[in-house]
Structure formats: C-alpha cells, structure tokens
Amino acid sequence: MTTAQASDDYVQIGASGESEFESQQSHGESSLAQPSIEDPADNGKVGAADNGDDDICDDAIAVAAAAASSADGVGSQELGNYLQSYMGRRAAAAEATEPGSLNVYEELRQKEQDLLLAAELGRALLCSNAQLKEEAELLRAEFEARLAASEREKADLRGKMDAAEQDWDAQLRDLQAETRALREELRRQQVARSELLAANERLLEDCRQSAARVESLQSELRARRAEAQDRLAAVSAEVDELRAERADMERRLGRAGAELDALAAVGEEQRARLEARLAELTDTAADLRERLAASLASQRRQQMELAEEQLYQQQQQQQQQQSMITSPSTPSSSSHLLFLFGFDSGLAGDCLGESLFSELAGFGASAARMDGLYDEDIEEDEADAPVCCVGGGASGFWRSGD
C-alpha cells in the first residue's frame, strides 16, 4: 500500500468514523444507561473480550501517536504500515471467529472500539490536514514570492538581455567598421610590403656592389698601408739622420757661440778703446775748430750750413754704426773729420794745420788696421759656421742655428 492510498483510507475512515461515532455515541449512551444483563455462560467470553479491549486500546494509543507524529510531518509511512497491520489482524480475527459465536455485546464493544479508533484517527488526520493546509499556504506564499522574484529577475534579465543585444549590435557595428579599416590597412600594408620588397632587392644589389667596392678599397688600402709603412720606415731613418745632424749642428753651434762670445768681448774692448780715442780726437778737433774759427770765419760762413747738415747725417750714421759690433765707425769718423777739415787745408798753410791733418791721417790709418783685423776674425767665424745670418753691418757675419 502506498502513502497516497493510505491517506485516502485515512480520509474515508475519518469521514465514516465521525458519522458512525455520532450514531453510536447516542446509542451507547442509551445502552449504558440501561442495566446490562449478563449471561453466566458468557463470562469467559467477556474476559476474553476485556483482554481484546486492552489490545484495542493499545492499538488506539499507537494509532494516535502515529497520527501525531504524522501531523508533525514524520511517521506517515509508519502510520500506513500500522494501519495495514491492524487491518490484517482484524481480518485474521474475523476469519478466526466463527459466525454467530459472538453475542451482541461483544459486537457492540468491537464497534465501539472501532469507532474510538476511527475517531482518534480522524482527529489526527484533521490536525494533520490543518497543518498541511498551513504548510500549503506557506508554500503557496513562498511560491508566489519566488514567482514574483523570478518574474522580476526575468524582467531584469530581459532588460539586461536587451541592453546586451544593443551593446552587442553596437560592438558588432564597431567590429565591422574596424574590420573594414583593418582590411584597408592590410591592403595598404600589402602595397607597402611589395614596395619594401622591391626596395629590399635594390638595397641587396647595392649591398653586393658596395661589398665588391669595399673589397677593392680594402685591397687598395692594404697596398697603400704597405707603401705608407715603407715610407714611414724611410722617413724614420731620415728623421734619425736629421736628429744626428741636428745634434752635430748643436754641438758646432755651441762651439761657435762660445767663440762668438769671446769675439764679442774682444770687440767690446776694442770698441771701448776706439770710443775713448774718438772722444779724445773729438775734443782735439773742437779745440782746433776753435783755433781755426777766427781765421776761417769769413770763408766758412757760406759752407757752415752744408757742413752742419753733413755733420748731422754723419752723426746719425755714426750712432747706427756704433750700435753694431761689426760697424767700421772709426774710419767713417776719421773720413768725416778729414772731409771737414780738408777743404781749408790749402788755405791754412801754417804748421798747426799740417800737424792736425797728419795726426788725423794717422788715426784713420790705425782705425783701418783695426777694422782689417776684425774683418779677418769675422771671415774665420764664417768659415766655421756658415748657416744663418744673425746680424749685419758693413761686413756682416754668420752664425749657426737649428
């Protein structure tokens, strides 16, 4: 027997039990009010019936407990099993009882017991039905709430789906536009790629030509490098020779410098003596001019300006020649004095003029001899170091250098 069938049996038993209970209750009250007449022969049956009543009461208590547990939502299967076993025992008891063996009281007692059991069962089923109704209401409310929530969720999902469809359409349009742009870009890239491939081929050809040119330039560079190394070796040898010659020239220059310093010292000494002698002669000439001024004033007046100008020029030349070591200043001075006083030698005619001119002539001769000796020294120096000119004058001299 399944649970659904047991529930139907419960309902049928409850409905029939309630009606039978109401009829039997009124009949029982009337029967209980009357004094019971017992048959002495039925005492044993009554005792057996009492024992059966106890069993039936126990069964009723068990049915009520099972119904209470089924009302709580548990034990419905146990209630069905118990009712099935109870109906089986009733059927077995009915089969075991012979027809006509039970009296009216026992049948009435059994009916009352059945009625009590049916009443308890109906009460339990009513309680269970009320609870099931409450649970059904709760489940219905929960279902309606869930249905409303599902409807709201469905509406939200529909809105989201619409938004997603719109978004998808927009994205699809964007992707299509991007695809078109990418295709256009791909076409341009392919054109650029073909151009780059052509340019690459040209560059490869240029690279091959450049490689050949580089190879030729490298061979030429190696040849020129070898030639440059040979020339460098030759130049290095020449530089070594020039360094040796320079060292030799520096040694010779050192010797020539020492000799030149010695000659310069000698020249300075001679120049000092000549300057002293020239100063003495100048003083003598001034004295003579003063002595001759009285006799020659009339004749020298016309020639004085010219003589003074020539004297100034000669003094300038004398100063320039005195600044040079090799300048033969003394002969020029003596010649100038002879020029100054030579124009009136025929006019003076006295002993003083003749002695003056003779003294001046002797001084000029001595100065000429000194210039000759100095020129010979200069020529010897030039023969030793004829490299470069470091000074000049009437004769000039040479000096060695780098």
Helix (H, G, I), strand (E, B) or coil at 11: helix
How far, in Å, are 181, 213, 219, 231, 239 from residue 227 at the CA level?
64, 21, 12, 6, 18
Tell me whether residue 204 is in a domain.
Answer: no
Could you give the CA distance from residue 273 to residue 259 in angstroms, rounded to a whole number? Answer: 21
Tokens at residue 103, please?
Answer: 């009296």
Tell me whether residue 84 is in a domain.
Answer: yes
Shared domain check, 7 and 138: yes
Tell me whether residue 251 is in a domain.
Answer: no
Last residue of a domain, one of 134, 156, 178: 156
Could you give the CA distance from residue 400 to residue 242 in angstroms, rounded to a whole number? Answer: 16
Contacts of 248 (CB under 8 A, 6+ apart): none
**pLDDT mean across residues, the chain:** 69
Q: How many CB atoms lie within 10 A of CB 310?
A: 14
Confidence grade of residue 324 (pLDDT, cut at 50, 70, 90): low
Contacts of 113 (CB under 8 A, 6+ apart): 53, 56, 57, 60
pLDDT of residue 361: 54
Count how many residues are written for the chain. 402
Helices marked H in 36-103 — which ranges? Answer: 43-71, 76-96
Shared domain check, 262 and 146: no
CA dihedral 55, 57, 59, 60 (to 10 degrees): 170
Tell me whether residue 356 is in a domain.
Answer: yes
Shared domain check, 126 and 8: yes
Contacts of 311 (CB under 8 A, 6+ apart): 336, 340
- Residue whose structure tokens are 């039990």: 17
Shared domain check, 391 and 270: yes
Tokens at residue 135, please?
Answer: 């649970």
- Residue whose structure tokens are 């450049």: 210
Stretch 65-78: mean pLDDT: 50
Tell me whether residue 234 is in a domain.
Answer: no
| Amino acid letter for position 192 | A
pLDDT of residue 348: 41
| pLDDT digit string, tens, across residues 122-176 | 888 888 888 888 889 999 999 999 999 999 999 999 999 999 899 999 999 999 9
Could you give the CA distance from residue 13 to residue 122 in angstroms, rounded to a whole number? Answer: 7
Tell me whether residue 211 is in a domain.
Answer: no
How far, in Å, are 21, 65, 196, 222, 279 from residue 14 at the CA level?
10, 16, 100, 128, 184
Helix (H, G, I), strand (E, B) or coil at 107: helix
Return the biggest CA–CA distance within the chain: 237
Tokens at residue 170, please?
Answer: 């927009």
Stretch 187-207: mean pLDDT: 92
Give me the number of domains the chain comprises: 2
Residue 392 dihedral angles phi and psi, to the nearest 5°: -155, 165
* pTM, full prediction: 0.25
Last residue of a domain, one of 156, 175, 209: 156
Last residue of a domain, one of 135, 156, 177: 156
Q: Is the pLDDT of residue 262 over 70?
A: yes
Could you give the CA distance from residue 360 to residue 282 in angstroms, rounded to a whole number? Answer: 11
Confidence grade of residue 43 (pLDDT, cut at 50, 70, 90): very low
Tell me whether residue 270 is in a domain.
Answer: yes
H/E stretch holding 331 reads helix 329-342
Shared domain check, 269 and 151: no
- Output 298 or 242, whichever has higher pLDDT: 242
Could you give the CA distance from residue 92 to residue 95 in angstroms, rounded to a whole number? Answer: 5
The number of CA neighbours under 13 Å toward the Cβ of 354 is 3
| pLDDT digit string, tens, across residues 358-388 | 555 555 555 555 555 545 554 555 555 444 4
Shared domain check, 152 and 8: yes
Tell me whether residue 41 is in a domain.
Answer: no
Q: Which of 96-105, 176-185, 276-285, 322-331 has the highest mean pLDDT?
A: 176-185
| pLDDT digit string, tens, across residues 332-364 | 444 444 444 444 444 444 444 455 445 555 555
Contact in structure between 114 and 23 (CB atoms under 8 Å): no
Contact in structure between 51 and 113 (CB atoms under 8 Å): no
Q: What angle do CA 385, 321, 334 make, to 5 degrees?
A: 120
Shared domain check, 152 and 261: no
| Buried b or exposed e, range 88-125, using 16+ CB within 10 angstroms | eeeeeeeeeeeeeebbebbeebbebbbbbbbbbbbbbb
Residue 62 is part of which domain span? 3-32+47-156
Residue 288 CB burial class (10 angstroms; 0-12, 13-18, ≥19):
buried
